[in-house]
Chain A
């Protein structure tokens, strides 16, 4: 099962981010950089939890990631994390890994926007790995 994300939205809503950071552009940039820097590790944690079937941890991590994404006005990322949170109870590991892969791709879009470089990209064929 894949998610139909709101692709018409920019990956980062800069106006909203500006408002949330109370007009502090440097803080906004720093928070976005922090996000793209920590997102790969969070995805790795999610992947581990998915693979061992730890549904509560998947729910918890996805929920927190959704909150972070909303704080940074990255609504498509938030929507993907929200979908992962909602589907965390499923027994379909492949479905959850597919959702996680979508999340990783969105992180890459954010990374492209902020000009950061990926330090920990998604594993190749991660969604298909047994």
Chain B
């Protein structure tokens, strides 16, 4: 391989010109563009341009050594994450600990073995891609959410609730083959997209205080179909991106109800994808405990009561059981990431609330 077509740029930092040139040559053979800096000070100037995703640095250098460079990069992390690999002749435990403590992601003994270095860089590349994906997904979700964003941290809470529920369910025998680490990471990343279809809902409906008319409600319910259709088209275009399939399922089915009275398709029971059933509980808990233009914030206890009473009608009874096991953790997350509003006990009947959970 001798191309330099990859977009990831690597900064090589070494005061030894022979080592630096050898590394730069290896980068070109691996397909990366690279630049060389002779010490930490020069390297920082390059890093600040935001053009380098990976830095491979020697430790012992004049002016600013690799450890100091690593600390500076972590202290000024303004242009996204920079993956730092320290490359040094000192491979004793104390040196490795010092390097990792300074914020290095990896540590390779000098002289490097080309094949090993390539694999280490690929590991860094995977981490950077994962981070970029998470950022892009969350940015899209935030953008969609910003139109009716009355609860600033709604999406942050939703994904935490979903992760909690999945972690609990993954310990149950019936879910052990379904919910693994990838599933949990996927629902954490994609659950914030559940309401992305709301971008297509007119302001007069989306932002209307108080109860919706039947006609307005019908318009509002379209957001699940619109969001699902959009994400399904993307998932079909990129079938290798498995997480998009889950994003589609969540957007399309998080308003379905266990008893078949939900929307958009009136699915019931286990015909509703598990991810949709999980997000349904997380979304409703958050809606109930958050203040909206059409309702006050209900107390945690009230929200728990409503969800418990809706087990087997609105919600999957298994997910509700998991929720009840975790309710204290939900309360903690709600406090930690909650918006500053006053709780109320809430009205005894909640028709408006149920409608506006759309």
Which of A's residues lie within 8 Å of B, judged by CB?
19-22, 24, 27, 31, 34-35, 38, 60, 63-64, 66-68, 70-72
Contacts and interface: CB of A to CB of B under 8 A. Distances in A.
Contacts of B110: 67, 70-71
A56 B357 CA distance: 68
Contacts of B15: 64
A27 B19 contact: no
Contact of A20 (B17, B58, B60, B114): B114
Contacts of A34: 17-18, 21
B22 interface: yes
A27 B2 CA distance: 14
B173 interface: no
A67 B19 contact: yes
Contacts of A38: 17-18
Contacts of A67: 16, 19, 58, 89, 110-111
A22 B114 contact: yes
A27 B21 CA distance: 9
Nearest 4 Cβ contacts at the A-B interface: A71-B111, A70-B111, A67-B89, A68-B18
B243 interface: no
B310 interface: no
19 contacts: A20-B114, A21-B22, A22-B25, A22-B114, A24-B25, A27-B22, A27-B25, A31-B18, A31-B21, A34-B21, A38-B17, A60-B60, A64-B15, A67-B19, A68-B16, A70-B110, A71-B18, A71-B110, A72-B18
Nearest to A27: B25
Interface residues on B, range: 10 to 19
Given A31-B18, A34-B18, A66-B89, A21 B25 contact: yes
Nearest to A21: B22
A40 to B, nearest CB: 15
A16 B26 CA distance: 15
B29 interface: yes
Majority-rule SS of A interface residues: helix
Contacts of A27: 22, 25
Interface in B12-51: 15-19, 21-22, 25-26, 29
Contact of A68 (B19, B26, B29): B19
Contact of A70 (B21, B62, B89): B89
Nearest to A66: B89
B205 to A, nearest CB: 62
B21 A20 contact: no
B295 to A, nearest CB: 65
Nearest to B25: A27
Contacts of B17: 34, 38
A69 B114 CA distance: 17
